[in-house]
Structure 1
């Protein structure tokens, strides 16, 4: 009688991840996930020890946005899993493909209110595409395969798998590892013909590209289609650089903080093709009463005149030969409007203005990837940057948590070792996840952190002054950030004068190591209000 080879579920999960090409897992160990870590110890997959689980989720998110592959983060039961919530919600709002793995108390103790027992799946359900509690090892094998397949080929977003510790240690037949799973991704091909007819009649077409173009690996398809038919392209926030913003057909960002050219086109076009975007309230500020063909794998976000539930690449393949009417007149009309924001930077004035500092950061960064945090500096970066490549600007658009930038930069740097990474972060956001300086130092990552220090929660102060007349609880009594970085064995310096920021960024990028630059700016400067 032939003996069937057995393997523990923890070892099987790691082998599947290896086979699927996972190179990094971002996590923090804890008691209930230890069997998984024991299997990971013998794996070719590199585990990146983050100093907080929120950092693990943000790092996996940054890795996904930069590699166009799923990111993976791991935590233990109870507090470990709950600490992931901010980062998982961030990824959910921006449709970032994350595989989220948590450990849990053994099955016999679930619901018994024992130490660290909490209904993790109920917490994760609203902020993930799927959240599963695994009670049988065979189920775990099937679900992890389905999750990876979905994240690579289907609708993107976080998928959560919760493994009780005892289940991780159960044995299964090793043959299960070789079984394949097949998913049927929904498509609505019936509307392609209608889309072609609308495009043929259009005299003023506009492509509105979202991040779904990136996840569909359709960047080249988009550029070829736009160039062939001479259709202008605007983008949403997370899709900036999908078509280089110095390309003749690029109009830049559309919507809130959008360019004059993009918003004019959005309000005066006779047909918008919204590809891989969800038409958020910020994007709709740049759109008029115009027919919209919306293409997205996520049926929940479809809200156009003509909705097509499809992969963007498939859609572009279907209509690549379909031409609108001659667009020369339309392009000439758009050429009268600015594709850049006219920002006065007061470069010679002191105290140093934040917009002047950020202008110097962007001038000195070269081809580095910029990772943006949340705060008043976020607006200045978005107004001043020109994105020339896909995913050259990384930030959280949908949720906007403070503290995203530094841990996300870890994932970005590991995903793109050919690039330097420049983080722009405020003094408030930096102090929410600064413990990840330890991770950056340990891995010796070439990350330059540009810390904009206005000694306050600047954007909140501005809103308080605007709506409530007087600021309250927004002043920050900050530490010595240079000494703090040095304590983590990271080189650092402080600058506060025009011209010095540009020099400091240039010097930092040359050393190919972690560097922190504290930039003292005018604490009373406000961002411009949107029109």
Structure 2
């Protein structure tokens, strides 16, 4: 072998190392083995998940918790297909993850041999792009381009599919000489910027509406400073929560379908919305009136409003930091007359405990932990009760909502934030979708507390069935002994069912900074608030 050549798999790892990738979540298999051989000798640490769905959700959780890029990998055929749920989850919420799959050798593709399937045809609808790699050079250039894409363009999963022989092939090392990226800033058109200044300067009742794009831009500090300098209230979408603390007097909470009174009042009575990294989705516009809109987002497909700007949020705020705005002095106090919190009673003392009381006790004892939601009734209770104080501290799947996100998502969050504890709040149905990842939590001794809200049913589906059809079908769960199951994975656990027990159990669990599980038996008949629907 010539000294100036490099194996494709080795080159890929070098690119990931150069871009400060620390972890890859995955599960090995025959067709991805060259990549694993390269990883074995690298600074990148592989996290062995127990299922590929868990690998994708963990990469997603890592990305959300760090506001950076997550990476997951699998082998061909069944391994790649098991990733699909997690990739679709990331796609719906625009989460930047790199998905690397091995494939059968080039000469076996398309011949319907063992584990041969058109992987890219499956991944194409749920990724920004799915590369079917034919040569090492093509794969290396594609991987290098992904990091630039994530920095300056729309975010979401990008997939690279490598036949095993391509991973083993060698290339000239000179292709690696252009790893460095040029600093690039998308300049806002000067005339457009003048119009932005004009709208802002003429506004008397402005409102900042921040979404996930502001989080990915790491714009929290500059956004808060801008809002404080001009006394502008700040509303958020679901995914923008925590961009400024919801305890801050300028925060009006969430806007839209599940919005707060203050958020929706501000949205309907402002004269200008400065939309930063948000989408004006069907849920968001419920809380918006007929004001002027300045919309800033890297994703040009979602831009709409009176002035649209394809830009990074943080860079845009730098451009307008010197604007002079004289708002109506009564505007902020007018908005603050309305509550920026949801009105949920949590003072119940009954046994079995009400789920909203259980959630309140978990959150009150959470002690700056990252909260990871799964899907179901508990997600709504968390949404309505929690006060989010920092970006990326409440993680959940919003657009796709798969059951089973919570535990692997928490694993990713724990690796992204080794100095913080993580609480995964899951339903009893959710838990059984990905419970095998307790083995991963135990193996890496992660400070994750799993709280199972056990109502012995698929409660939200039961509620919809009752409401629409008058009867229930196939939603009652005969659950296993969750405590014994946790102990089988060598994770300490406790079962509680009474008010007051939960907060003390959470305090105790978090003090260990080790894996722990709490099963909370709640009232199986308690319902969540649902929007009106037609039968």
Q: TM-score, normalised by structure 2?
A: 0.97
Deviation by residue 1:431-486 (Cα, 9 ceiling, x = unmatched): 10111000000001010111000000011111111111111110001000000000
User: Given that residues 295 and 310 in structure 1 are in contact (C-alpha distance below 8 angstroms), is that contact kept between their aligned partners in structure 2?
Assistant: yes
1:54 & 1:496 partners in 2: Cα distance?
A: 31
Partner of 2:128: 129
User: Given that residues 370 and 394 in structure 1 are in contact (C-alpha distance below 8 angstroms), is that contact kept between their aligned partners in structure 2?
Assistant: yes
Partner of 1:240: 241
Partner of 1:421: 422
1:86 & 1:279 partners in 2: Cα distance?
A: 25
Is the partner of 1:135 in helix, strand or coil? coil
Partner of 1:68: 67
Partner of 1:399: 400
Is the partner of 1:193 in helix, strand or coil? helix
User: Given that residues 491 and 515 in structure 2 are in contact (C-alpha distance below 8 angstroms), is that contact kept between their aligned partners in structure 1?
Assistant: yes
1:55 & 1:185 partners in 2: Cα distance?
A: 36
Matches within 5 A, 1:243-258: 243-258=244-259
Is the partner of 2:21 in helix, strand or coil? coil
Gaps of 5+ in 1: none
Is the partner of 2:201 in helix, strand or coil? helix
Partner of 1:229: 230
1:395 & 1:262 partners in 2: Cα distance?
A: 21
Deviation by residue 1:330-354 (Cα, 9 ceiling, x = unmatched): 1011111001111112421222100
Matches within 5 A, 1:111-260: 111-180=110-179, 189=189, 190-260=191-261
Partner of 1:354: 355
Partner of 1:507: 508
User: Given that residues 187 and 297 in structure 1 are in contact (C-alpha distance below 8 angstroms), is that contact kept between their aligned partners in structure 2?
Assistant: no
2:85 & 2:226 partners in 1: Cα distance?
A: 38
Shift of 1:108: 1.5
Comparing 16-25 with 321-330, greater Cα deviation is found at 321-330
1:245 & 1:128 partners in 2: Cα distance?
A: 33
Comparing 413-422 with 193-202, greater Cα deviation is found at 193-202
User: Given that residues 15 and 179 in structure 2 are in contact (C-alpha distance below 8 angstroms), is that contact kept between their aligned partners in structure 1?
Assistant: no
Comparing 356-365 with 325-334, greater Cα deviation is found at 325-334
1:525 lines up with 2:508 in the alignment? no
User: Given that residues 89 and 400 in structure 2 are in contact (C-alpha distance below 8 angstroms), is that contact kept between their aligned partners in structure 1?
Assistant: yes
Is the partner of 1:349 in helix, strand or coil? coil
1:32 & 1:500 partners in 2: Cα distance?
A: 50
Shift of 1:175: 1.8
Shift of 1:182: 5.7
RMSD (CA atoms): 1.4
Partner of 2:369: 368
Partner of 2:30: 31
Partner of 2:21: 22
Matches within 5 A, 1:486-501: 486-501=487-502
Q: TM-score, normalised by structure 1?
A: 0.97
Partner of 1:11: 10
Shift of 1:181: 6.8
1:403 & 1:275 partners in 2: Cα distance?
A: 31
2:305 & 2:387 partners in 1: Cα distance?
A: 29
User: Given that residues 252 and 336 in structure 2 are in contact (C-alpha distance below 8 angstroms), is that contact kept between their aligned partners in structure 1?
Assistant: no
User: Given that residues 395 and 405 in structure 1 are in contact (C-alpha distance below 8 angstroms), is that contact kept between their aligned partners in structure 2?
Assistant: yes
Shift of 1:125: 1.2
Give the direction of change, closer, same or farther, for the CA distance of 1:121–1:185 in structure 2 (3 Å limit).
farther
1:396 & 1:127 partners in 2: Cα distance?
A: 15
Shift of 1:198: 1.2
2:217 & 2:421 partners in 1: Cα distance?
A: 25
Shift of 1:512: 1.1
2:401 & 2:495 partners in 1: Cα distance?
A: 27
Aligned residue pairs total 529
User: Given that residues 78 and 104 in structure 1 are in contact (C-alpha distance below 8 angstroms), is that contact kept between their aligned partners in structure 2?
Assistant: yes
Partner of 1:435: 436
